[in-house]
Chain A
Amino acid sequence: MSSANILLIWPENPAIAILLWVFISVVILYMARRPAHHAIRSLSRVIHNAMRIAARSVMLVRNKVEDRNKEVLLAAGEDAVERLIEQEFHRVEAVVTRDLSGYPSLQRALKDQITCIDEDYRESGEVPPSPPGWDKAVEAVAKIRSTGDTMVVNILEEINKSFNKQQKIAISEYRKVSGERHSLLKKMMPYWRKMVNTLDDVEKTISGLLERSRVIDNKMDQYEQIRAGTDKAMRMLSSSSLTQFFIACFVLLIAIGGAVINFNLIALPMSEMVGGSSYIGPYRTSDVAAMVIILVEVAMGLFLIESLRITRLFPIIGSMDDKMRTRMLWITFSILFILASVESSLAYMRDQIAADMQALRQSLAEVTITEPIRGNWIPTAGQMVMGFILPFALTFVAIPLESFINSSRTVLGVLVVGFLRVVAFALRFAGNLALSIGDMMANIYDLIIFAPLWVEGLIRNKAEKPEISSVEKEVIS
């Protein structure tokens, strides 16, 4: 008897046998209903709790990461604002050193000018006419009655003549003195102009300083907000960081493009120097050498920009004393200059090799060798200039690189927080799903054994009904 036949209790009638098995299964399932429900619910609850605990742990980690992000963001913001304030103070210092340091001499000049003006002004003052001592005599003469006496008439005419003469002399004297005064006042004019210009310059300097002080005030407000860790500061820093990240990425992509072009310029001629048949791993030695040259140029660029204190990627360089830093600046610049010159020469060599290869290919293909067209030096010169310029252009990669590194910490933190949030949600969802699935499985279990449950219900109802009726009877009685 095969195993299939063993299962078939009634081999002649398999349908009845199957029904019999179903019946037996249902009875067994009915008998095991309570422990089965218990097992299903326990399992689902265990899964649910495990998921909830895991979600809680993830949320705790997320909170920690969020706190760390906040710290990083605030520290970065603090540093950036500190740098800006520092720069503003440097500008103010420059203005003070440049303009206000000359204030004592300016004051002296102004004093001199004022003294000159004062002296001139005094000299130009109108001299009051000498008090007439003969007023009373004139008055007495005027009171003499005109009696027609010739002698009196003569005296009066003489007096009149003397008066007129004196008046003419006085007027000419007065005009002379007035002219002198006017010339003195005219001499004052350049002093006035000078003084006005000087005061205008002072006003400009002072208003510039006031503007700077307003900027510093704004930055100080920002700084205080960052120090206090306000939401406004957080929002501002976070959005600024994201913007910085995308801008830095864009500029870095451009720089990578430049580096690739640079690589193509020097890879072929490098094979002339280090040989084109040797390999380092799967890469040609000449390609690796070209790449190393470009990377060294980028590194020198980083040091150069760092020495200029434009970036702060290497604190050691930043903390060097000025003399050492200047030395480093010149050394890196010299190396960069030499490498740029080498690249320029390699670009020239590349052109020569390419032309030789072209000629060889034409001769191998038995094609008439074409004469070089006029102005053929233009691509050669262009390549040489590019070879010289690109290393210096790559120097400025340091600035977007610093932005990228600084902002990527924040962006990475935000991404990690987002990821942890999704994980926590997924864990919670899975836990709740497990609980619901447990309930659903218990219900499905009951559905399979609905027949005995239905019978059980009927019996229970029958058993409960007489009890209720007897109670009712008691209530009625």
Chain B
Amino acid sequence: MEKVIEVQNLTKKFGDFTAVDHISFEVYKGEIFGFLGANGAGKTTAMRMLCGLLPPTSGKGLVAGFDIHTQSEEVKRNIGYMSQKFALYEDLKVWENIRLYGGIYGVPEDEIIKKTDELLKRLGFEKERNSFVKSLPLGWKQKLAFSVAIFHEPKIVFLDEPTGGVDPVTRRQFWEMIYEAADRGITVFVTTHYMDEAEYCDRVSIMVDGRIDALDSPKNLKNQFKANNMDGVFQQLARRASRKAD
């Protein structure tokens, strides 16, 4: 299987504090990989390194075939990223956001025009082409933000708590979009605090105190920890944490 992320002993220290402590794992093409952990466990730091935004202190990481330390610009160009906190420009229109992100990711002009029509049609947003993003309901914004994040067909998309605060129906529709992207071969790397969403992932890793303390399919993790659901697994692991960042 093609590996889209390969990480060995990846470590990040801030002074005396080891935020990420020798983590090693692989993520495969088309996989939905859940990246869980308590607040302060090191998820955000690890994710920033994987996106080429923060150089590691030691260890090695390849994302979409590029070294996160020496080729961070190539990494940035070959991934997609979406978070709940930052996604789209509210004061730009729907088509302007698509145009902007397409341009940033280097999609040729004529292709942007063609793909914008396709995208708006697929989402049923044709009427909203000229609407300002701030006027859209939250659920629509999130669907649009996800589509924009994968507009340049990256090998992998990073989703940082993409569904926070969304109503239950929209949250599920969002996950159906994630499945479609994965079926097309896009790898999905996702963090969430909703433990039912952890069940939707092919494999899940759980970080505790900067380390990856568990990594497997939700089914195997539930067996291993004798838990009925992923919340049970998470509670057992996170309570082990000695780090009191929170």
Please say whether chains A and B are actual partners in one complex: no
